[in-house]
Amino acid sequence: MTTINISNATKRYGTETALDGLDLSVRRGEIYGFLGPNGAGKSTTINLILDFIRPTAGEVSVFGLDAREDTLEIRTRTGILPEGVETYDRLTGRKHVEFAIESKGADDDPDELLERVGIADSADKKAGGYSKGMTQRLMFATALVGEPDLLILDEPSTGLDPNGAREMREIIREENARGATVFFSSHILGQVEAICDRVGILRKGELVAEDTVDGLRDSMPEQTRLRVQVDRIPEDSSAALEAIESVDGVSEVSADGTTLVVTCEDRAKTTVLRTIEEQGVSIEDFATDESSLEDLFMAYTADDRTEVTQ
Amino acid sequence: MSAITVAKKDFADAARSRKLMGLTAVFALFTLGGAFLASWAGDLFAELEGEGAESTLDLVFALQTPAGYLVPIIALVIGYAAIAGERESGSLKFLLGLPHTRRDVVIGKILGRSAVVAVSILVGFLVGLIGLFVFVGSVSIVDYLLFTVVTILFGFVYVCIAVGLSSMTGSTTRAAAGAFGLIVFFWFIWSFLAMGLLYLVEGSLWMDDHPDWYVSLLSLSPDAAYGSAIAAVFGEGQFTIATAYGVENPPLLAEPWFGFVVLAVWALVPLGIGLWQFGRADL
């Protein structure tokens, strides 16, 4: 069962392509983390799902309904926390929640929702005086109205301190346990890693990776970076480097003076060290560092500064 | 139903605007001034002609001028940012994230802002009414209420224009420029163009009988239509363009009742274009 299904969606603004033939599906009941640097097309994708914008080509459906034709029904069953959303400055926090409840024909208790997101104390204050974090909490409360089947959260931790972000993740887990599907975007891996069943990484309008968090980890060969300090540079240094490079499992070797950096699979470590010693030098020191999921994310999304921002 | 929900929220939000309070105060001052002038002029005529206090119609005539100028300003100021402002700030995403169609949002905005403008008019006219009681002594409440209703309708037309403009663009600057441009257009450019046309066709600006097309053209602005509508309600010609030009048998377009048709067109056309534009826009 898929809750969100995007097939071959393209969105162009003039000559700029914000999304390029995106295929993406979110299964019912899962927490899907939508990752990518700013400007990769995350908000464009979410705006397509919500019918805020229309695709240049391709199909978007939610609950098996057409995102354009049945947008009202979709939004009745969905709770939304849009990115960069603003409140009505002259209305109180409670008024916002009451408005969402009335709009959805739900029967929630506004105070309970405000309590849940931790701003019950400010319920009667005008939202214009709220801090960024409080605004984000208020908008989150309105997204929770009517026990939605789907929660769409665009950069939900914006403006929240680490504690607030943790509280929000807690509520997201509770909502998911109740049965809600959660689709949430972030440009920070840590936000997503802790909570998501599956992760999609978007780069320049294209999905470059999609898997479970563990799957993404497994998909990386167990690469290790060996940093080796030797006592001297061997006479025939290029032949020495070639010998190390030719070891099975080594992908990269670089030398800087008497420091060697060797990227290799875990299993090749011992062979590499032995091969270095065979070059007639002695090892004075060595260190290893495991690559993390963060490295993978960086590798996928690096060099993204010239992105199309919308 | 959804539009009503939006309208209620919008009313609660917009009614707390300081701009509205300021404009309402100015409007009340002007109706008070109008009432005072009406009674002063009435006394003057009474001395000259030996007649008593004038009819409520004369008073309405005195109040029509401040209302004719200020109601459009109030409605445009209250309405121009209705949609564009929310698009600019991002609160529209909150509104449309909830199950409201774009049409519901526009209709709700028109209802909400119209209610706000109606309250402003009611406050202004209530002050005017008190002024009339104080300065003149007696007023026909029924006539005064009729006048108020037609003025609220006039305000509604300008709210439709303002919200229509606001839905056509994502920029409040452009919406404001459009609203300001319209005011200038209706107040100055319209009659100026008509005069230019008159000169081109007739070769002169001064004549005893103005041609029907000229009187018709001048009657087609919303402000002239407001006068026509008041004339239709009271069965008195003195508010129309035709009377101002001494036309005894006005052409259809300058007939008092036709003022309502003109008002309806001025409400619906910008609104229609706005709805169409907003419906297909990328937000």
CATH code for the domain in which residue A225 is found: 3.30.70.100
Of the pLDDT bands very low, low, confident and very high (cuts 50, 70, 90), residue A306 is very low
Alpha helices in A63-161 (DSSP H): 71-76, 93-104, 110-116, 132-143
Do A213 and A228 fall within a single domain?
no
Residue A212 lies in a domain: yes
A71 at B interface, C-beta within 8 A? yes
Residues 130 through 159 of chain A touching chain B, CB cutoff 8 Å:
139, 142-143
Q: What is the pLDDT of residue A254?
A: 84
Q: Is the separation of the CB atoms in B85 and B166 below 8 Å? A: yes
Q: Are residues A286 and A163 in the same domain?
A: no
For residue A265, give the H/E element and its range: strand A259-265
A54/chain B closest Cα distance in angstroms? 7
Given a contact cutoff of 8 angstroms between Cβ atoms, the answer to whether A224 and A266 are in contact is: yes
Q: Which residues of B touch A76 (CB under 8 A)?
A: 99
Whether pLDDT at A150 is above 80: yes
Q: A53-67, A108-122, A210-224 — which is least confidently predicted? A: A210-224
CA-based nearest residue in chain B for residue A49: B97
d(CA B234, CA B227): 11
Residues A172 and A237 both lie in one domain: no
Q: Which two tokens stand for residue B172?
A: 């409040």
Same-domain check for residues A46 and A18: yes
A168, A201, A218 - which closes a domain: A218
Chain B positions contacting chain A at CB under 8 Å are 2, 5-6, 9, 12-13, 16-17, 89-91, 93-94, 96-101, 280, 282-283
Domain that holds residue A261: 221-290
- Is residue B42 within 8 Å of B136, Cβ to Cβ? yes
Q: What is the pLDDT of residue B52?
A: 45
CA distances in angstroms from A16 to A41, A201, A222, A308, B283, listed in the order given: 12, 20, 38, 7, 17
Mutate to test the interface with B, among A11, A47, A52 (most CBs of B within 10 A): A52
Cβ–Cβ of B99/A104 closer than 8 Å?
yes
Determine, yes or no, domain membership for A118: no
Model confidence at A308, pLDDT cuts 50, 70, 90, reads very low
Which residues in chain A have Cβ-Cβ distances shorter than 8 Å to B94? 82, 85-87, 96, 139, 142
The answer to whether position A278 is within a domain reads yes
- Is the four-CA dihedral A190, A193, A194, A196 of positive or negative sign? positive
The sheet carrying A57-62 orders its strands as A16-27, A2-13, A57-62, A65-66
Which residue among A86, A91, A104 places its CB closest to the CB of B12? A91
Residues A246 and A213 in one domain: no
Distance CA A305, CA B48 (A): 82
The closest CB to that of A87, out of B91, B96, B100, belongs to: B91
Q: In Å, what is the CA distance from A146 to each residue of A80, A91, A104, A175?
A: 12, 21, 7, 12
Task: Tell me which chain A residues have a C-beta less than 8 angstroms from the C-beta of B282.
Answer: 13, 47, 52-54
- Tokens standing for A194? 């802790």
pLDDT in tens, A93-110: 999 999 999 999 999 999
CA distance B85 to chain A (A): 11
For range A4-31, the mean pLDDT? 92
A71 lies in the same domain as A38 = yes
**A214 shares a domain with A225:** no
* Distance in angstroms (rounded) separating the CA atoms of residues A297 and A179: 29
Cβ pair A87:B5 closer than 8 A: no
Phi, psi of B113, rounded to the nearest 5 degrees: -70, -35
pLDDT at A305: 41
Q: Alpha helices, DSSP H only, in A179-262?
A: 189-193, 213-219, 237-245
Interchain contact, B91 vs A47, CB within 8 Å: no
Assign A141 a pLDDT band (cuts: 50, 70, 90): very high
Q: Does the distance separating the beta carbons of B283 and A53 come in below 8 Å?
A: yes
Q: What is the CATH number of the domain that holds A30?
A: 3.40.50.300
Residue A101 lies in a domain: no
Q: Is residue A112 part of a domain?
A: no
Number of domains in chain A: 2
In a domain, A52, yes or no: yes
Do A7 and A73 have their domain in common? yes
Q: How far apart are CA B192 and CA A39, in angstroms?
A: 51
Per-residue pLDDT at A302: 64
End-to-end CA distance of chain B: 24
In terms of domains, do A178 and A225 share one?
no
- Specify the pLDDT at position A58: 94
Asked if the model's pLDDT at residue A289 lies above 80, the reply is no
A-chain residues within 8 Å CB-CB of B91? 85-88
With residue B181 as reference, give the H or E element that holds it: helix B172-184
Do A64 and A155 lie in one domain? The reply is yes
Can you list the residues of chain B whose pLDDT is less than 50? 50-53
Residue A132 in any domain: the answer is: no
Q: How many Å lie between the alpha carbon of A203 and the closest alpha carbon of chain B?
A: 22
φ, ψ for residue B240, nearest 5 deg? -90, 165
pLDDT score of B6? 93
Residues A71 and A183 in one domain: yes
Under 8 Å between Cβ of B101 and A69: no
Among A123, A104, A185, A36, smallest CA distance to B94 is for A104
Cα separations in angstroms, A6 against A24, A95, A283, A310, B181: 5, 35, 54, 19, 44
Q: What is the mean pLDDT of residues A182-187?
A: 90
How far is the alpha carbon of A271 from chain B, nearest alpha carbon, in Å? Answer: 59
ipTM, two decimals, is 0.85
Q: How far is A219 from chain B (nearest CA, A)?
A: 37
Nearest neighbour of B96 by CB, restricted to A52, A96, A139: A52
Average pLDDT score, chain A: 87
CA–CA separation, A60 vs A75, rounded Å? 14
Strands ordered across the beta sheet of A223-230: A250-256, A259-265, A223-230, A283-290
Rounded to 5 degrees, what angle do the CA atoms B254, B260, B263 make?
Answer: 95
Q: Report the alpha-carbon distance of residue B155 to residue B120 in Å, rounded.
A: 10
The answer to whether the beta carbons of residues A301 and A40 sit under 8 Å apart is: yes
CB under 8 Å to A85, separation ≥6 — which residues? A135, A139, B90, B91, B93, B94, B97
Residue A304 in this model has a pLDDT that exceeds 50: no
Cα–Cα distance measured from residue A114 to residue B70, given in angstroms and rounded to the nearest whole number: 42
Give the Cα separation of B86 and A140 in Å (integer). Answer: 19
* Cα separations in angstroms, A34 against A21, A37, A180, B239, B261: 16, 10, 17, 64, 54
Lowest-confidence region among A137-146, A205-214, A220-229, B20-29: A220-229
Q: How far apart are CA A183 and CA A232, in angstroms?
A: 55
Mean pLDDT score, A16-34? 93
- Whether A92 is in a domain gets the answer no
**Distance from B204 to chain A by nearest Cα, in Å?**
52
Vertex A17, ends B168 and A186: CA angle to 5°? 90
Per mean pLDDT, which range of A139-153, A155-169, A217-231, B10-24 is the poorest? Answer: A217-231
Q: Do B98 and A95 touch (CB under 8 A)?
A: no
For residue A37, the one-letter residue type is P
Pair (A252, A209) in one structural domain: no
